[in-house]
């Protein structure tokens, strides 16, 4: 199985046979195309939700559920399967390394959906079973567009083809229509809110964004000065290739010509996001916040939302409310004696100027990315003593190893970011975590062995498990279930810890503060002039409760926004929240880039009355 003809033939045979099963609604035959422990991930093609099923029984159960009097598979009517051989995801060999490598053929295909009338795209990973038959280890089906309402890449602007208005007038007219009657109100104009607004606009839906800040990108600008992303540039791009072809290569391929470094500083990122909002002509009310709890009227299926826009109060009545307010307000634990402490004490979100503490003793409570960045900043600015307090253990990976593993492009460099995202999302997250446990994490640990040994020697505690004995899920486990809390993608602090320039106070609970430091439960003390609490952010659900009140929040699904549900799909975000007309958009760049489209499709489908 080496030539491209063979790869194509294997894929085509399997796909042809799968199509027969699908078009005849034969769920049993459909399931027989999988390994008995194979995986099926479906995003919006067979249900209006995100589903991952593993094993023949569960897949069969899902396909056979009765919808409008027909089994789901027959009801949805997936047909016209065609190998997608003109893209970077055309049939190719794959290997999933592990104790026993899994090898096979992978590739993308397109298809149509009958109900609702839609276009889909799928991805398979086939391997040979014990009888040498090609079966799916994974199958991914993803709704691409609703027929007749495809995402538009064309903008009809200006003085041409009989149009007689200027670009400014055109944009202004569109903005006035949105402001008068927004179909969707997005609260929060960070990258999650903006990408959602851009998708909705391209799908022909009026979306108004409000943000409490004065300028797009301010949430990044307000973070600590030395912050640069810990994820490489390609991971951090937003959907620009399709919307901003001119900027495509600038952010996707960082190199000297583009002046986008591989790890983007926060100010540059803020400006980029700002330019994105302008270029996408997104309708945004700056310096605008919710005044009171929004009210949902079930009979009109509309919200009443009162907002403060500058010095005016305005009532908005959208059908859909999208909460894109970011990762929650700073989480500040309280200890006795905090108000007696006579030095500077603040949360890492408010870290601004390490220089003013030159020559001082600093304690940073928290051993994640923010804690590491801030320790590094204090060392660089001449603090006499910098100590990091680590309560439990941290999942640490060097950025070099992360680039070779987690952030490695699965396709050639020239592949569009959309192809990369599609490829990455074709992998069920629960399987990904299983593969980590089965050996991938071990491999990453090997690559960082010397570094980890150095950290341990310095007293730093490492982990790759979410809880003791639950399996080494590594960075991805923390990224997908805890929004990366408890991780350190090292970009320099590790070396300082190993060299003793950042000291570690490990494994002791804080007992209380006194006037010049922190007392621990073992009776030890750290004296300090400055204490920074790098203790993370409140859960998104807590922010939701503050903004929306108990009545609405109590109707939401019980899980925390983000994190994984029992099937391994991201909780609530970009998918039904449990409350009609209420959606969440959240998470790192790779989530908003991909799932903003799904949010748009679900809202569009409701507008069209097909969901
Ligand atoms: C220190 C730090 C480092 C990070 N590094 C990375 C990284 O390397 N890579 C990565 O992918 N992610 C990183 N993240 C995560 C990053 O925050 C998220 O990826 C991203 O900011 C989430 O985008 P967002 O749009 O959901 O939220 P945000 O960017 O936080 O935007 C939320 C917006 O909502 C507005 N808002 C909030 N509440 C209200 C309200 N009540 N009314 C009106 N507007 C409101 C805010 O003003 C803000 O503009 C980092 C986060 C932090 C804090």
* Average pLDDT, 10 consecutive residues per value, the chain (611 residues): 81 98 97 98 98 98 97 97 94 88 96 98 97 97 97 71 79 95 97 94 96 96 89 66 44 53 87 89 96 96 97 97 92 96 97 95 97 97 98 96 88 82 96 94 96 98 95 94 91 97 97 97 97 95 93 86 90 94 92 94 98 96
**356, exposed or middle or buried, with CB in 10 Å at 0-12, 13-18, 19+?**
exposed
Alpha carbon nearest to ligand 1 atom 46, residue: 188
Ligand 1 centroid to Cα of residue 598, in Å, is 20
Q: Distance between CA atoms of 81 and 484, rounded to whole angstroms?
A: 37
Ligand 1 centroid to Cα of residue 325, in Å, is 7
Two tokens, residue 240: 């620009």
Q: Distance between CA atoms of 181 and 603, rounded to whole angstroms?
A: 16
Q: Single out the residue of 505, 534, 498, 524 nearest to residue 388, CA to CA.
A: 505
User: What does the pLDDT read at residue 250?
Assistant: 41
Q: Distance between CA atoms of 378 and 364, rounded to whole angstroms?
A: 10
**593, exposed or middle or buried, with CB in 10 Å at 0-12, 13-18, 19+?**
buried
Angle, nearest 10°, between helix axes 589-608 and 191-202?
40
Q: Distance between CA atoms of 417 and 243, rounded to whole angstroms?
A: 12
3-state secondary structure of 464: coil
HSE-up of 165 (CA within 13 Å, CB side)?
A: 10
The residues, any chain, with a CB within 8 Å of residue 572's CB and separated by 6 or more, are: 556, 557, 559, 561, 562, 578, 584
Spell out which residues line ligand 1, taking CB within 6 angstroms. 187-193, 210-213, 219, 223, 227, 229-231, 236, 289-290, 324-327, 369-370, 547, 586, 588-589
Alpha carbon nearest to ligand 1 atom 34, residue: 188
* Closest-lying ligand 1 atom to the alpha carbon of residue 370: 1
To 10 degrees, the CA torsion angle through 566, 469, 480, 436?
A: -100
Per DSSP, which regions of 507-597 are E strands?
510-514, 517-520, 525-527, 530-533, 582-584
Cα 200 to chain centroid distance, Å, stands at 18
How does strand 207-210 pair with strand 184-187?
parallel
Maximum Cα–Cα distance across the chain: 81
Q: Which of 195, 199, 219 to mutate to test the pocket of ligand 1 (most atoms within 8 A of CB)?
A: 219
User: What does the pLDDT read at residue 245?
Assistant: 42
Cβ–Cβ under 8 Å, residues 140 and 78? no
Two tokens, residue 515: 């006037």
Give, in order, the Cα–Cα distances in Å from 354 to each of 227, 379, 495.
13, 9, 19
Ligand 1 centroid to Cα of residue 499, in Å, is 33
Ligand 1 centroid to Cα of residue 326, in Å, is 4
Q: Distance between CA atoms of 473 and 465, rounded to whole angstroms?
A: 6
SS3 assignment for 120-189 = EEEEEEEEECCCCCEEEEEEEEEEEEECCCCCCCCCCCCCCCCCCCCHHHHHHHHHHHHHHCCCEEEECC
User: What does the pLDDT read at residue 237?
Assistant: 64
Alpha carbon nearest to ligand 1 atom 52, residue: 370
Ligand 1 centroid to Cα of residue 192, in Å, is 8
Q: Which residue has the tokens 């990122």?
A: 269
Q: Which of 186, 187, 189, 190 to mutate to test the pocket of ligand 1 (most atoms within 8 A of CB)?
A: 190
Other C-beta atoms lying within 10 Å of the C-beta of residue 458: 18
Q: Which helix (H) or strand (E) holds 267?
A: helix 266-279
- In the beta sheet, which residues pair with residue 186? 209, 322
Ligand 1 centroid to Cα of residue 285, in Å, is 18
Whole-model pTM?
A: 0.94
* Closest-lying ligand 1 atom to the alpha carbon of residue 288: 43
Ligand 1 centroid to Cα of residue 377, in Å, is 21
Cβ–Cβ under 8 Å, residues 309 and 287? yes
Ligand 1 centroid to Cα of residue 608, in Å, is 31
């Amino acid at each position: 199985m080496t030539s491209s003809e063979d790869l194509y033939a294997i894929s085509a045979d399997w796909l042809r046979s799968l199509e027969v099963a699908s078009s005849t609604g034969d769920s049993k035959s459909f399931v027989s195309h999988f390994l008995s422990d194979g995986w099926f991930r479906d995003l919006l093609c067979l249900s209006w939700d995100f589903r991952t099923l593993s094993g023949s029984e569960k897949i069969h159960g899902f396909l056979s559920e009765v919808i409008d009097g027909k089994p789901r598979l027959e009801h949805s009517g997936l047909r016209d399967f065609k190998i997608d051989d003109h893209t970077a995801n055309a049939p190719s060999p794959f290997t999933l390394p592990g104790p026993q490598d899994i090898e096979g053929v992978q590739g993308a295909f397109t298809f149509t959906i009958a109900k609702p009338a839609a276009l889909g795209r799928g991805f398979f990973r086939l391997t040979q079973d014990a009888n040498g038959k090609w079966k799916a280890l994974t199958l991914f089906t993803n709704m691409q567009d609703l027929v007749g309402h495809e995402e538009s890449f064309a903008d009809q602007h200006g003085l041409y083809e009989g149009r007689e208005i200027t670009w400014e007038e055109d944009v202004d007219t569109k903005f006035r229509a949105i402001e008068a009657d927004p179909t969707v109100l997005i609260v929060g104009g960070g990258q999650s809110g903006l990408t959602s607004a851009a998708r909705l606009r391209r799908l022909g839906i009026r979306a108004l964004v409000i943000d409490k800040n004065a300028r797009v990108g301010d949430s990044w600008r307000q973070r600590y000065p030395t912050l640069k992303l810990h994820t490489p540039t390609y991971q951090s791009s937003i959907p620009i290739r399709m919307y901003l072809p001119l900027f495509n290569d600038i952010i996707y391929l960082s190199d000297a010509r583009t002046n986008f470094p591989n790890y983007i500083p926060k100010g540059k990122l803020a400006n980029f996001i700002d330019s994105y909002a302008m270029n996408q002509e997104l309708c945004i009310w700056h310096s605008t916040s919710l005044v009171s709890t929004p009210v949902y009227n079930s009979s009109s299926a509309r919200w009443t939302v009162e907002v403060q826009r500058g010095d005016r109060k305005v009532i908005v009545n959208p059908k859909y409310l999208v909460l894109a307010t970011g990762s929650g307000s700073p989480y500040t634990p309280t200890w006795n004696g905090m108000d007696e402490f006579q030095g500077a004490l603040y949360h890492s979100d408010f870290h601004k100027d390490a220089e003013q503490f030159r020559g001082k003793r600093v304690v940073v409570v928290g051993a994640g990315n923010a804690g590491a960045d801030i320790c590094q900043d204090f060392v660089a600015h001449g603090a006499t003593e910098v100590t990091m307090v680590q309560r439990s253990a941290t999942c640490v990976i060097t950025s070099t190893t992360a680039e070779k593993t987690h952030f490695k492009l699965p396709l050639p460099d020239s592949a569009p970011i959309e192809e990369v995202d599609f490829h990455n999302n074709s992998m069920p997250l629960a399987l990904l975590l299983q593969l980590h446990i089965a050996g991938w994490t071990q491999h990453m640990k090997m690559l960082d062995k010397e570094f980890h040994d150095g950290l341990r020697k310095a007293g730093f505690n490492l982990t790759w498990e979410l809880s003791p004995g639950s399996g080494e899920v590594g960075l991805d486990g923390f990224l997908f279930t805890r929004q990366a809390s408890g991780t350190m993608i090292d970009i320099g602090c590790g070396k300082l810890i190993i060299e003793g320039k950042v000291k570690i106070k490990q494994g002791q609970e804080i007992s209380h503060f006194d006037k010049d430091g922190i007392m621990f439960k073992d009776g030890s003390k750290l004296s300090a002039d400055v204490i920074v609490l790098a203790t993370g952010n409140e859960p998104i659900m807590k922010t939701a409760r503050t903004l929306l009140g108990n009545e609405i929040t109590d109707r939401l699904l019980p899980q925390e926004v983000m994190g994984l549900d029992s099937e391994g799909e991201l909780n609530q975000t970009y998918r039904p929240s449990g409350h009609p007309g209420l959606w969440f958009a959240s998470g790192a760049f790779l989530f908003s880039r991909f799932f903003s489209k799904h949010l748009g499709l679900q809202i569009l489908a409701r507008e069209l009355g097909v969901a």
